A and B are shown apart, each in its own frame.
Chain A
Amino acid sequence: MNPMVEFKNVMKTYQIGSQEIVANNNINFTIYEGEFCVIVGPSGAGKTTILNILGGMDKVTSGKILIDGKDISQYNLKELTLYRRHDVGFVFQFYNLMPQLTALENVEIATEITKHPLDPKTVLEQVGLTGRIDNFPSQLSGGEQQRVSIARALAKNPKILLCDEPTGALDVETGTTILDLLHTTCKTHNKTVVLVTHNPIITEIADRVITVKNGQIQSININSNPLSPKEVQW
């Protein structure tokens, strides 16, 4: 298996006034292609910082981050934009759909700027939204909106799928179907999925669990027998 994401001695500090706050310190991990990886930890542990750096939204203070072998820690803002555009599919906790666009158009807004996008309609059908593609976000349920958000991320045909608490705003039942969708996508399309959450139960479906605490990696566990989301006792 190819390593898809590699963090090497990554440190991130923030300057707040005259104080320097260390958000991440000496972070090292590797995620392999096609893995379903869950980064877990309590709030304030530093998982959001990892997500921001991995998503190309923030720069590291020191260390290296290799994505499919390329060191994005050296990228300038323009290169980071292209990285986000072509290599990362982002699934938000609150879906972040454009309210004035239909489901289809919300997917198109992402595919419009990518090099090798998948067909938006097909992807929407894949995520189970056949017949809903001309609806506006306000006409969709929370679960449906999250499906559109996932379709938007998938249709870019990215190298990694980054999910920030994707079930955080959903009830358990809907959340399970969303996790199932992500899990299936990962397994059937061999897509690398990185999911950030504070909810430890989700780790049961992961291939790899990275636990973060106080800005540092506490443990990295390989789950030899991950459950499918539907088998998990929520």
Chain B
Amino acid sequence: MVVKNYLKYIFKDIKTLASKLIAIIMIVMLGIGFLVGLLTTAPNMRYSVERYYVDNNAADLVIQSATPLTENDINSLKERTEIKDIMPYFMIDEVIEINDVNRMARIMLLNFNENIAVNQLKLIKGRLPNPNNEHVEVVVEKSQTYLVDIEIGYQTTVMDQVFEVVGIVQHPWYFAYVQEVSQLNQRPIETMIYTDESFLADKTYTHLAVTINNPHNYNLFSEEYKDYMETVVENLEKTYNSDFYYTTRNQNQSYVKFQNDVKIVEIIALIFPAFFFLITILVSMSSMTKIVSDQRIQIGTLRSLGYSKTKIMNKYIFYALMASLVGVLLGIGLGIYFIPAVVYNAYLNSYNLPELTIARNFLVISIMSVVMIIAVVLVTMISVGATLNEKPANLMRLKPPKKGKKIFLERITFIWKHLKFRYKSTFRNIFRNKRNLGLTLIGVAGSTALLLAGFGIKNSVDYSGHYQYQEMQLYDIEVTVNPNQTTIVSLDEYEKIYLMDYTFKYKNDDYINVVSPENNLLINDFLNFKNTSRHDILMDNNSVFVTQQFAIKHNIKANDTIELEFQGTTTTFMVTEILDYYFGNHIFIAKELLEVSYPTMTYNKIYVKTDLKDATAIENLRLELDLDEAVLQTSFDSDIKTVFEKTSESINSIIIVLVVAASLLAIIINYNITLINISTRQKEIATLKVLGYSEREVSGYVFRETLIISSVAILLGLGLGKLLHWFIISLIFLDGIMFVNMIDWVSYLITIVLSYAFLGIVYFISIPKMRKIDMVEALKSFE
């Protein structure tokens, strides 16, 4: 009977506490929502591609043979335990004419009569080729930055054979917008064409697409998987000596690019959890404390009626449990799909991939949820416990306001003397309630730091691209040429420089491209070298410039000596400068130094300045170069810039999530603190009103304090944000990619303006709360 009444009382009570419990639900929801969303984004992105790999039985390994593969080879490979499926096919890179233009095409002959076993093609449009048709039916890879668009129905006749495009497909190894290069002549592949193997009268296989048994179910993007694949390849190499050439996913450009992009997302997402967690708990704690202090008299009454501490405590634990549980569930619902989808979809601008698949991240989500709920319950127990331990008689009175006392600042008389009265009062108040002070400092500083770090990452990405492609690299085209045939007619009219660009071995396990120009003075017109202190430097006869990332990785400093090996000859060079450089690893060495050890080295690269602005003129030059036998590869600055811009856009998505999260948090924390401030000072506010203070003066009295603490917190947050930014930037150190550690002053400005804007928003939404305080409150006692 008693229990029943008590329960009834609890449910009635919930109604009166609704607004405060909702506040807890909201903050827990946001906290968990962002935590779950952000922490699962990278795993979900990886999982989506893993699913894509599995669904299409994508190859773990492609084996290429110098000589046509024999039945024996195939059968013996099939018997190996580590190999699951094997699909032999013929592949060749050929120049073919498409829409009157010669295009470098990768042609694969597959068996369309049966289901393709490995690297299944995903049909996007049209249908798969019918092998029995009289003309040759083909399907082509979906177009992207580097692959031309060929429409279904396109027909062409090559050597009396009619070819017709019947479908558009996606090959699971070519989903990223990257330039695949022909192994034949290093030229970029412009289209990929798939047709039935019956096209060739006698079946010949050059390649094997192989899936490997994954006995430990290694995550396909894990280090374990990579290591395992290396072992598999090593074992195969032992058996099949040097006939085969092995390509694992780790050498597949799409896989590597995706891996890098996801890693950047993962690193940026890393900065959230601790802060989000802290804020959620602090806000829950202050809300719970408020509930308990509002119910002091109730608690006192129940205690004096003989209710045990445990029984009263249970009520609040029940509230905390319910509120955090509801918050957690709502948060999971909100965050689990939305945030990963926003980020993933942003990356679809540089990938041909299916929609996001949500992984079953039960473990991460349940750990976060349970920890969050426990934390909220724990802080509830702490704040209720403190009240319960007071004597019931004491509880019957409202807690008297905190005592005032002299603060440190007052000892500095010459400052204190000159302070206006209202500021003296404000400063004393600031130090009167240390918990509010702490909460504001942590909350505002934290969200300011997140904002600055977010904008800063954007600056770093953009500035790195701008610096490298606009300020540093002054040439427009990089042309790789046949070393024996370096005269390119179509480049006659343009300013250019010849270079040697060869891969050298460094310390047994790393490789580095050594670049040496024909003329040390001239190269400075093509590359605007800067050292890591951002001073302009010029190349001369003694120059050995090492790019930044390689230098950091191997701890190379200016004036160090390094040993490089090329074709069996090892040479020692003295490094003269470390270059400010963000994408790629190079060592620029003066020709005079290189010639000593490698006198026969020939030019194989040309940097060209065209200053061409017109798109058709650029396309014409590209075509001319493509048609030139001597040209192996061309790389247009404008293409690289486009790719970079897309990456930068994708990174924006995670930054937007970051900024929105930080902003919401900032507003919630500010609002929470302001509400506490107002409700604990109702009597003070009412008294001021009776004394004749205007509404503006009253809100100033309450808000001046928040403004001062927040200003200090914002300043602190800027410092913290700079640190956080530096931390993130130094973590993004992927192979050939790093970003400059720099935050634009505009970002500082925007961060400051936003932080104050949030204060302003909270100020305006809390003004009515202050207005509502009745002057009659001033006449009441503390009961």
Contacts and interface: CB of A to CB of B under 8 A. Distances in A.
A211 to B, nearest CB: 21
A100 B781 contact: no
A100 B432 contact: yes
Given A94-B781, A110-B691, A101 B404 contact: yes
Given A93-B781, A98-B684, A164-B779, A136 B403 contact: yes
A112 B421 contact: yes
Interface in B739-783: 775-776, 778-782
A17 interface: no
Contact of B404 (A51, A55, A83, A136): A136
Contacts of B776: 52, 57-58
The B interface, classified by DSSP as helix, strand, loop or mixed, is: helix
Contact of A85 (B404, B405, B428, B692): B692
Interface string A71-88: 000000010011111101
Interface in B379-417: 401-405
B704 interface: no
Contacts of A48: 779
B697 interface: yes
A109 interface: yes
Contacts of B694: 78, 81
B425 A105 contact: yes
A212 to B, nearest CB: 16
B672 interface: no
Contacts of B422: 112
A99 B779 contact: no
A143 to B, nearest CB: 17
Contact of B781 (A52, A78, A110, A169): A169
B692 A99 contact: no
Nearest to A94: B781
Interface string B303-338: 000000000000000000000000000000000000
Contacts of B428: 100-101
B152 interface: no
A94 B689 CA distance: 16
Interface string A48-62: 100110010110000
Given A93-B779, A136-B405, A138-B404, A100 B425 contact: yes
A7 interface: no
B424 A105 contact: yes
A58 B775 CA distance: 9
B651 to A, nearest CB: 48
B350 interface: no
Nearest to A112: B421
A113 interface: yes
A207 interface: no
Contact of A84 (B432, B692, B695): B692
A92 interface: yes
B404 A113 contact: no
A108 B779 contact: no
Given A48-B779, A96-B683, A98-B684, A90 B403 contact: no
Contacts of B691: 84-85, 90, 109-110, 113, 152
B405 A90 contact: no
Given A57-B776, A84-B689, A93-B781, 14 more contacts: A52-B776, A57-B775, A81-B695, A83-B692, A92-B687, A96-B687, A96-B690, A96-B778, A98-B425, A99-B404, A100-B429, A114-B692, A136-B405, A152-B691
The 4 closest A-B pairs by CB, nearest first: A85-B692, A100-B404, A84-B692, A100-B428
